[in-house]
Amino acid sequence: MSITTKGIVFSAIKYGEADLIVKCFTQKSGLKTYLLRGVLKSRKGKIKASLFQPLTQIEIVANHKDKGTLEYMKDAKLENMYQSLHTNVVKSTVVMFLSEVLRNAVREEEANPALYNYLETSLEWFDTQEKTVNFHLLFLLKLSRYLGFYPDVPLRKYPVFNLLDGTFQEVETNDACVSDENVVLLQRLLGTDFDELSSIKLNQVTRSGFLLMLLSYYEIHLQGFHKPKSLAVLNEIYN
């Protein structure tokens, strides 16, 4: 079936000498993987390899067999040109980290318009802002809503957060409970929008500690999820 859809690039891996295997989260068809033959050597082809940088927003014309196999992309063009995500060193490092998280976390092979809209709008916000040092923290927290394990907000007044069931409680009941400064920051972020992020001041130790808690939360709730390899690079860039 031929389809035209917007998509966000999650990854592009070189295959052989001239091919790319590209994983995209598409607006109309969910997660799709495409084999692009000869794209790394062809200068005259419709599809340019430069389109497939991490988290680039593109428009795709493709044939989808919807059988869980590699799909065929007929054409692609830039949907939204970022101003800074691939040129600013700090932002590009965050993009690399988030794309790895998304590859591990998003597995839906069907349309999810709400998730697509969240990714699209939050990345566009990130691209246009200058003070974004805590963006990845709020991005991951909000992403958990679309993945099905957003924390239980009504109970957030309690001092303990249970990573196993995503609820706040009065006392610790298992080894997956957290009751340190990470809980205070979590409570604050649950009531924060991206536009309010600049008001939250964190040092690197606090930021790193909270991110590790978030990634542990993801590991508990997503089978097969693991801490991104690019985490070390992210920590280094913020140090």
Q: Same domain, yes or no, for 111 and 223? A: yes
Query: Using CA atoms in the order 173, 176, 178, 179, what is the torsion angle rounded to 10 degrees?
Result: 20
* CATH number, residue 70: 2.40.50.140
Are 62 and 74 a contacting pair, CB within 8 Å?
Answer: yes
Instruction: Report d(CA 99, CA 236) in Å as an integer.
Output: 18
Instruction: Report d(CA 116, CA 6) in Å as an integer.
Output: 9
> What angle separates helix 135-147 from helix 113-128, to the nearest 10 degrees?
170
CA 8 and chain centroid, separation: 10
**DSSP bridge pairs for 5:** 60
* pLDDT score of 142: 98
Q: Same domain, yes or no, for 32 and 106? A: no
Number of domains in the chain: 2
Q: Same domain, yes or no, for 76 and 139? A: no
Q: Same domain, yes or no, for 214 and 104? A: yes
Sequential pLDDT tens for the chain (239 residues): 789 999 999 999 999 899 999 999 999 999 999 999 999 987 777 899 999 999 999 999 999 988 878 999 999 999 999 999 999 999 999 999 999 999 999 988 889 999 999 999 999 999 999 999 999 999 999 999 999 999 999 988 999 999 999 999 999 999 999 999 999 999 999 989 999 999 999 999 999 999 999 999 999 999 999 999 999 999 999 87
Instruction: Report d(CA 143, CA 136) in Å as an integer.
Output: 10
| 30-36: strand order across its sheet | 30-36, 19-26, 2-15, 57-63, 72-80
Q: Same domain, yes or no, for 214 and 144? A: yes
Q: Pick the last residue of a domain from 80, 114, 140.
A: 80
Q: Same domain, yes or no, for 60 and 168? A: no
Instruction: Report d(CA 207, CA 122) in Å as an integer.
Output: 20
Length of the chain: 239
Written as six digits, the tokens of 211 are: 């991110």
* CATH number, residue 202: 1.20.1440.120
Domain containing residue 93: 89-238
Q: Same domain, yes or no, for 66 and 151? A: no
Task: Give the amino acid at 10.
Answer: F
DSSP string, 189-200: HTT--GGGGGG-
Q: Same domain, yes or no, for 7 and 62? A: yes
Q: Same domain, yes or no, for 139 and 221? A: yes
Q: Pick the last residue of a domain from 49, 80, 111.
A: 80
Q: Same domain, yes or no, for 125 and 59? A: no
Q: Same domain, yes or no, for 73 and 96? A: no
Q: Same domain, yes or no, for 108 and 66? A: no
Q: Pick the last residue of a domain from 55, 80, 105.
A: 80
